[in-house]
Amino acid sequence: MKVSLKDVAERAGVSIKTVSNVVNDYPHVTPAMRARVQLAIDELGYRPNLTARHLRKGRTGIIALAVPELGNPYFAELAGAVIDVAAQHDYTVLLDHTRGEREQEILVSQGFRARVIDGLILSPLELETEDLRSRTDDPPLVLLGERRYDLPYDHIAIDNIAAARTAVRHLLDLGRRRIAFLGSREGRTHEPAHLRLLGWRAELADYGVAADEDMVVFAQGWGREDGAAAMARLLDAGQRPDAVFAYNDLIAIGAMRVMFERGLRVPEDIAVVGFDDVTESRFGAVSLSTIAPDKQAIARLAVESVMASLGGDAAADGPGRGSRELQPGFELVQRESTLGRGGTPVRD
């Protein structure tokens, strides 16, 4: 049934070692020998047992990527990019999701969920610094996203404050002054959407516009329905924003849905800017202006960081190993939700 190196060796009348050499493209093998062994391999349909190889070499060729939710297209798109980059390094990706729950994130970070992996890329939401302290000799870890931890792990995130400022600035330049902020879920342990909210405050301040904290609304989660609920709450409270900056595209899309339902025009009555540049944002009745993080760069940096930790076992404690702040770029994409259908600013 299952053919092993031994079977091939017997068939070819050589030793196991020789077959292994052929399989692994070891340089010093006689062409004749190689041919003979290859023949036996083909005849028997031999396929190496990766598990055994991994046991021997101590590596599995698998890295895990854990994100809050695959249903969020931002993470789905990012996952696709990570899979592609990993494939270039001959690595396969094991995907896991945490629902943004601290318990799940802890489990993942300690390797209890995704096992048998050489490295881990984690995008946490609720995880705390202390949760990571207890990590012992688990595989290399790279952190993604807004949260920062003062621990010796590489961290990859765009400059969230700068990005938020750019978005708000765009709205200000368009003449908007009553700019609401729709945030993500309220965390149990920390202020959600922290950096983006800071950016909102800072840019308003710099521009000389008073930040109205009543225009800040948090949601139950980070999905479209949460954006819709938050927007409804804002309007029901009697607020009349002339612009909305949302924590992410999904919240922006949910918010716009409520505006449509209530007969509010986008951008004439309310301009909207999102965050993430998911594909979906280009195809609504009103396409969405948004901050576009460089997802390709994020994926590349994440995978390369893991690969680096994998390679440099010797210099495990060397300087700069696994405690870098990696900052991919972003850009503001201006679409109809701020510029209007014509492509030029629209104001009533």
Partner DNA sequence: TTGAAAGCGCTAACAG
Partner DNA sequence: CTGTTAGCGCTTTCAA
Residues that bind DNA (CB under 7 A): 2, 4-6, 14-18, 20-21, 23-24, 28-30, 32-33, 48-49, 52-53, 55-57
Contact 226, 71 (CB under 8 A): no
Q: Which DSSP state fits 266?
A: T
Per-residue contact string for residues 30-49; x = within reach of a copy of itself by CB under 8 A = ---------------x-x-x
C-beta of 5 vs 168, nearer to DNA: 5
Query: Looking only at residues 227 through 286 of this chain, which bind a copy of itself when binding is defined by CB under 8 A?
Result: 228, 253-254, 256-257, 260, 279-280, 282-286
Residue 220 — φ and ψ, nearest 5°? -80, -25
C-beta of 55 vs 205, nearer to a copy of itself: 55
151 binds, among a copy of itself, DNA, none (CB under 5 to 8 A by kind): none
Q: Which of 92, 129, 220, 323 binds a copy of itself (CB under 8 A)?
A: 92
User: Does residue 108 interact with a copy of itself by CB under 8 A?
Assistant: no
Q: Which of 35, 116, 237, 315 binds a copy of itself (CB under 8 A)?
A: 116
3-state secondary structure of 269: coil
5 binds, among a copy of itself, DNA, none (CB under 5 to 8 A by kind): DNA
C-beta of 10 vs 212, nearer to DNA: 10
User: Does residue 70 interact with a copy of itself by CB under 8 A?
Assistant: yes
C-beta of 64 vs 195, nearer to a copy of itself: 64
**241 vs 255: CA distance, rounded Å:** 12
Residue 73 is encoded by which pair of tokens?
């297209």
Residue 161 is encoded by which pair of tokens?
């404050």
Count CB neighbours of 86 within 10 A. 24
Judged by CB under 8 A, the stretch of 25-33, 89-97, 145-153, 202-210 that binds a copy of itself is 89-97
3-state secondary structure of 180: strand
Which sign does the torsion angle of CA 74, 77, 83, 85 carry?
negative
Question: Pick from 313, 299, 13: which is nearest to 156 by CA?
Answer: 299
* String of DSSP letters for 77-88: HHHHHHHHHHHH
Q: At what angle do helices 73-88 and 295-311 cross, to 10 degrees?
A: 50
Residue 155 — φ and ψ, nearest 5°? -130, 130
Judged by CB under 8 A, the stretch of 59-67, 178-186, 214-222, 297-305 that binds a copy of itself is 59-67
3-state secondary structure of 237: coil
Number of residues that bind a copy of itself (CB under 8 A): 52
C-beta of 173 vs 261, nearer to a copy of itself: 261
223 binds, among a copy of itself, DNA, none (CB under 5 to 8 A by kind): a copy of itself
**296 vs 256: CA distance, rounded Å:** 28
Backbone angle region of 80, left / alpha / beta, with phi > 0 → left and psi within -120 to 50 → alpha? alpha
* Nearest-approach distance from CB 315 to DNA, in angstroms: 19
C-beta of 20 vs 239, nearer to DNA: 20
Question: Pick from 237, 242, 245: which is nearest to 214 by CA?
Answer: 237
Which residues of this chain interact with a copy of itself, rule CB under 8 A?
1-2, 45, 47, 49-52, 54-55, 60-62, 69-71, 73, 76-77, 79-80, 83, 87, 92-97, 111, 113-116, 136-137, 223-225, 228, 253-254, 256-257, 260, 279-280, 282-286
